[in-house]
């Protein structure tokens, strides 16, 4: 069970199916699964020709495009371990992960040349640098592989051999490396394509708005060749470019983090553009606001609300329609999808309290979310101890409630939960309620020290361009959606919120920005009823 069977299958059974790339310069190129497989064999030979061998780490610093896809299969096909580097990381993180991985080759996009030139003196193990898209007249990836034929036999071996390496974003301490294996990736791929997860088939046209350097683009570049669907890749995530690409390529399935979809929706509402043939979106990375879910449903677009992390390859759960879905009202559908769905076969979930006691699946009791499964991490790369507890349970760092029907509801990150008067306030639910207020583009809730209640919520909001929404209006909106004692003690407006390199809200940065913030007249405030 090795991943090269995926591209072999696509070449043999779906060779003429398009793989489309929208490049950052506005050009669009087309290839197909046959050519992807052939170029992957050429790349495998090119890597061997410069001395790469089984187990060597081959790094990429690139956005989504067909040459990056070739690098995935070519690097793995010669027995290498593909290390996808996030170009949004800070220099000290970039230095650490490349050296820690002991990368020997770096394949990179020309747009990232300034990063490469700046980091070369600090990357001590990289011997070869190859540009994916060299300037006209310069040598690079196309010229490097063209001298090799496509008659090549993939390196064979055990299904538990490593194929990929991806580092966490490193919000605390150094980033940690997560190893993916042939077996774990194949099992994850088969689960991903299933109807209750990404619902992929030969008939789908899939465009992942997830960078290929982030948790393997949520597995889409592996799943697409398995089902033989058309794959659309874009190196440019600007909403006007994306909307046009959706329509031109008749995209039916897509996936992205909430911040991407917020930008897309804002653009569509402002311009009147549409998304063409889109049938299903998967939203993950962080909790999707109710208003976003409702927006898609009102347009007849199915929503798969997913949860996962780098350590889960990344799929941990995904929303699926339950029995009797057609009888649900719109609000009932939104309520249901606002949870993060069910785990697919292979993933097990549980919640525990601080003493490690397993909590009931009653939909009300929140605790630390733990998971295990064949594509869930056991040990970080080069770590001396397992990352799991007894029974191979991995502590995700999330706080969640499990419902009797198996759906999971993420209430917070353990480090982000707001503890007021001994009770928990979900920053996620508060944020999602705030985004539902007209005129609010994005919101973040953090806990601020309070002399009576330990912590009380501060809500920090970004307005939609041109909106005159005010704190009073936001508070009035929240009153109808959250408990009275959850209402923020203050609402502040900023031009933008900080995000991590993977597009999530950076609560750590926000707390640093507001570390000296104090509520006015805190002693007189009304707290929990």
Residue pLDDT, tens place only, 147-183: 999 999 999 999 999 999 999 875 557 889 999 999 9
98 and 218 share one domain: yes
Residue 274 is a catalytic residue: no
441 and 400 share one domain: no
pTM, rounded to two decimals: 0.85
Instruction: Please give the distance of CA 50 from its chain centroid, rounded to a whole number.
Output: 33
Listed in sequence order, the residues at least 6 apart from 149 whose beta carbon sits closer than 8 Å to its beta carbon are 41, 42, 45
Structural domain range at position 371: 348-413
Write the CATH number for 104: 3.40.50.12780
Instruction: Please give the distance of CA 375 from its chain centroid, rounded to a whole number.
Output: 16
Closest CA to 517 of 462, 471, 449, 460: 449
pLDDT at residue number 504: 78
Tell which of 197, 224, 253 closes a domain: 253
Task: Find the catalytic residue in 11, 311, 431, 442.
Answer: 311
Is 398 part of any domain? yes
Is 128 part of any domain? yes
Tokens of residue 232, six digits: 């659309």
359 and 485 share one domain: no
Q: How many beta carbons lie within 10 A of that of residue 324, not counting itself?
A: 8
Is 362 part of any domain? yes
Instruction: Please give the distance of CA 437 from its chain centroid, rounded to a whole number.
Output: 26
The dihedral built from the CA positions of residue 259, 262, 267 and 273, taken in this order, carries a sign that is positive
User: What 3 state SS string does 168-196 have?
Assistant: CCCCCCCCCEEEEEHHHHHHHHHHHCCCC
Tell which of 253, 272, 288 closes a domain: 253
DSSP 452-490: TTEEEEEEEEEEPTT----HHHHHHHHHTTS-GGGS-SE
Is 371 part of any domain? yes
Residue 424 is a catalytic residue: yes
Total residue length of the chain:
529
19 and 141 share one domain: yes
Instruction: Report d(CA 140, CA 130) in Å as an integer.
Output: 6
Task: Find the catalytic residue in 113, 424, 455, 463.
Answer: 424
| Number of helices and strands in the chain (H, E) | 15, 24
77 and 219 share one domain: yes
153 and 244 share one domain: yes
Q: How many beta carbons lie within 10 A of that of residue 326, not counting itself?
A: 7
Query: How would you write the pLDDT of the chain (529 residues) with one tens digit per residue?
Result: 899 999 999 999 999 999 999 999 999 999 999 999 999 999 999 999 999 999 999 999 999 999 999 999 999 999 999 999 999 888 999 999 999 999 999 999 999 999 999 999 999 999 999 999 999 999 999 999 999 999 999 999 999 999 999 998 755 578 899 999 999 999 999 999 999 999 999 999 999 999 999 888 999 999 999 999 999 999 999 999 999 999 999 999 999 988 899 899 999 999 999 999 999 999 998 888 889 999 999 999 999 999 999 999 999 999 988 999 999 999 999 999 999 999 999 999 999 998 999 999 999 999 999 999 999 999 999 999 999 998 999 999 899 999 999 999 998 877 787 878 767 788 888 998 999 999 999 999 999 988 878 789 999 999 999 999 999 999 999 998 888 888 999 999 999 999 887 777 888 899 999 989 999 865 544 433 3
Instruction: Report d(CA 10, CA 202) in Å as an integer.
Output: 11
Residue 310 is a catalytic residue: no
409 and 449 share one domain: no
Cβ–Cβ < 8 Å for 84, 219: no
Tell which of 253, 286, 313 closes a domain: 253
Is 508 part of any domain? yes
Determine the 3-state secondary structure of 372 from DSSP: strand
Identify the H or E element spanning 297: helix 290-298
Helix axis angle, 66-77 to 4-14, nearest 10°: 120
Residue 311 is a catalytic residue: yes
Task: Find the catalytic residue in 168, 189, 310, 312.
Answer: 168
Cis geometry, peptide bond prior to residue 397 (ω within 30 degrees of 0): no
pLDDT digits (tens, 9 = 90+) for 433-457: 999 999 999 999 999 988 878 789 9
Instruction: Report d(CA 179, CA 151) in Å as an integer.
Output: 29
225 and 146 share one domain: yes
């Amino acid at each position: 069970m090795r991943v090269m069977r995926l591209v072999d299958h696509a070449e043999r059974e779906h060779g003429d199916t398009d793989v489309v790339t929208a490049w950052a310069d506005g050009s669009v190129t087309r290839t197909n699964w046959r050519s992807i497989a052939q170029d992957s064999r050429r790349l495998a030979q090119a890597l061997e020709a410069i001395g790469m061998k089984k187990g060597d780490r081959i790094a990429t610093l690139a956005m989504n495009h067909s040459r990056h896809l070739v690098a995935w299969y070519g690097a793995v096909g010669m027995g290498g371990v593909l290390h996808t580097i996030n170009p949004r990381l800070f220099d000290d993180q970039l230095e650490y992960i490349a050296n820690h991985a002991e990368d020997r080759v770096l394949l990179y996009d020309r747009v990232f040349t300034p990063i490469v030139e700046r980091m070369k003196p600090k990357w001590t193990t990289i011997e070869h640098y190859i540009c994916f898209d060299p300037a006209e007249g310069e040598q690079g990836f196309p010229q490097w592989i063209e001298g090799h034929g496509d008659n090549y036999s993939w390196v064979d071996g055990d299904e538990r051999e490593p194929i990929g390496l991806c580092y966490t974003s490193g919000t605390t301490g150094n980033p940690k490396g997560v190893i993916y294996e042939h077996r774990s990736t194949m099992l994850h791929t088969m689960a991903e394509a299933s109807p209750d997860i990404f619902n992929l088939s030969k008939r789908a046209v899939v465009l992942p708005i997830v960078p290929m350097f982030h948790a393997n683009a949520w597995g889409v570049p592996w799943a697409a060749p398995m089902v033989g669907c058309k794959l659309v890749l874009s190196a440019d995530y600007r909403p006007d470019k994306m909307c046009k690409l959706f329509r031109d390529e008749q995209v039916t399935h897509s996936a992205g983090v909430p911040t991407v979809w917020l930008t897309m929706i804002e653009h569509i509402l402002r311009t009147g553009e549409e998304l063409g043939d889109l049938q299903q979106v998967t939203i993950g990375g962080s909790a999707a606001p109710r208003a976003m879910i409702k927006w898609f449903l009102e347009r007849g677009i199915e929503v798969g609300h997913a949860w996962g992390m780098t350590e889960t390859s990344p799929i941990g759960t995904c929303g699926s329609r339950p029995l009797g879905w057609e009888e649900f009202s719109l609000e009932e559908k939104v309520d249901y999808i606002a949870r993060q769905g069910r785990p697919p076969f292979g993933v097990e979930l549980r919640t525990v309290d601080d003493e490690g006691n397993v909590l009931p699946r009653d939909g009300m009791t929140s605790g630390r979310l733990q998971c295990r499964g064949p594509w869930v991490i056991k040990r970080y790369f080069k770590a001396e101890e397992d990352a799991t507890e007894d029974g191979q349970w991995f502590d995700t760092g999330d706080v969640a409630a499990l419902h009797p029907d198996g759906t999971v509801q993420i209430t917070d990150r353990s480090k982000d939960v707001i503890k007021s008067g001994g009770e928990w306030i979900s920053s996620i639910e508060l944020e999602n309620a705030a985004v539902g207020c007209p005129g609010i583009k994005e919101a973040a809730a953090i806990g601020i020290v309070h002399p009576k209640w330990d912590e009380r919520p501060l809500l920090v909001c970004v307005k939609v361009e041109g909106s005159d929404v005010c704190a009073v209006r936001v508070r009035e909106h929240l009153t109808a959606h959250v408990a009275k004692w959850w209402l923020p003690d203050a609402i502040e407006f900023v031009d933008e919120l900080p995000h991590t390199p993977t597009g999530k809200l950076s609560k750590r940065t926000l707390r640093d920005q507001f570390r000296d913030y104090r509520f006015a007249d805190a002693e007189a405030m009304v707290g929990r009823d």
